């Protein structure tokens, strides 16, 4: 089931890809218990994503100094 969804999400050209609505409605996504995510796990995931974004901005030079980072405030803060 997961493979079917991934194949649909990676089709080329992008106009042939499954829509976000259809992807969310896919039987594999619906069979998972994503709503049962523990708050502490969700907080950890968000922290990791923020740290990754900061690292990505710094590594690519897209930080607030040149104003091309998509989320400047997080690029100027240090990872916690």
Is the pLDDT assigned to residue 73 strictly greater than 60?
no
Q: What CA dihedral angle connects 59, 63, 68 and 69, to 10 degrees?
A: 80
Q: How far is CA 36 from the centre of its chain?
A: 19
30-58 tens-digit pLDDT: 887 666 777 888 788 888 888 877 766 66
| Per-domain residue ranges of the chain | 41-76
pLDDT (average), residues 19-33:
87
**pLDDT confidence of residue 59:** 63
């Amino acid at each position: 089931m997961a493979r079917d969804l991934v194949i649909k999400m990676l089709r080329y050209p992008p106009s042939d890809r499954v829509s976000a609505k259809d992807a969310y409605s896919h039987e594999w996504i619906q069979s998972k218990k994503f709503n049962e995510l523990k708050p502490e796990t969700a907080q950890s995931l968000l922290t990791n994503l923020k740290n990754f974004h900061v690292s990505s901005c710094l590594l690519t030079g897209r930080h607030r100094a040149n104003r091309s980072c998509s989320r400047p405030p997080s690029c100027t803060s240090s990872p916690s």
